[in-house]
A and B are shown apart, each in its own frame.
Chain A
Amino acid sequence: MNKVDKIRSQYQQKVKISAAGQHIFRDCLRAFWVGGAICAFGEALNAFYRFLGADVERSGLFTSVSLIFLACFFTAIGWFDEAARYAGAGTLVPITGFANAIASPAIDAKREGLVTGMGAKLFLVAGPVILYGTSLSVLYGLILYLLRLFGADLPEV
């Protein structure tokens, strides 16, 4: 390794060390309580829909839809990103993060038109999620199907 490369790698090391997250515990705690609160709120919604007479599957769907609606609504009025700056993964990891990932590019790209702007950019962040989720599920289905052809089976989901 010549001298210049050595200086460079030393510098990269130093930068990496100084850039490492300073508030890991604090940020994880924030993500924990906000994320936990969203999940508990989801549980409350679930109970509410069950109380209204929906079956298990439907109440789960309604819960997701309600959370998605709220996330899109708060994204539209500009509160979601403020909350996310506090909570980080606390709002990102629940289904609210997925909804925000669809709503935020839509709002952002409105000026570029309804088709080439909003329509195309809608899936900017959510597209990969759907792509890899679906691909993996199809792969799983294929393996399951082939195994069953040969008499084997996978555990029930």
Chain B
Amino acid sequence: MNYLMSFIFGGLICAVGEFLILKTALTPARILVGYVCTGVVLGAAGVYGAFTDLAHSGATVPLTGFGYLLAKGVYRAVTEEGLSGVLTGGLKAASGGISAAVIFGFLAGLFGFGYPQGSGKKSQFAIYKR
């Protein structure tokens, strides 16, 4: 059941993103920013927590879940430590994901090589004619 809910709600969130890309002038980068901000706002409004109980990974895996994580971290930190929590809470909660993305991205940059889109394997030979 959890899998079905994750599939349906996660898929719906993605489909909405696709619809926005196609129907409005939003570029993918703006979609990413918009989704994270939406997650923070919905989290702050107390709505997203209930949604995660319903949709499970369908709510936490999309980037709105990342925004929700930020809001949740801030809420907890402000409750526990007060004013300093305003600054530390968000990134502390999201630190695992951000560090992982930076480290794996860096490793990918070190060891990856970009193939041109749509072309085949990296082989070097030329075809001369005439």
Contacts and interface: CB of A to CB of B under 8 A. Distances in A.
A and B touching (Cβ–Cβ under 8 A): yes
A95 to B, nearest CB: 6
A75 B109 CA distance: 9
Nearest to B48: A157
Contacts of B107: 72, 76
Nearest to B118: A82
Contacts of B70: 133-134, 136-137
Contacts of B35: 93
A89 B18 contact: yes
Interface residues of B, number: 85
A126 B105 CA distance: 11
Which of B58, B75, B77, B108 counts the most chain A CB atoms within 10 A?
A: B108
Given A89-B31, A155-B46, A98 B109 contact: no
A contact face: mostly helix, strand, loop, or mixed: helix
B contact face: mostly helix, strand, loop, or mixed: helix
Contacts, number: 288
Contacts of A92: 14, 17, 28, 31-32
Given A137-B74, A140-B71, A157-B71, A67 B61 contact: yes
A157 B79 CA distance: 11
Given A99-B105, A141-B86, A35 B14 contact: yes
Given A39-B7, A40-B3, A98-B101, 15 more contacts: A20-B23, A35-B62, A40-B58, A43-B57, A93-B31, A98-B32, A103-B104, A126-B32, A128-B33, A137-B40, A144-B75, A145-B83, A154-B44, A157-B68, A157-B72
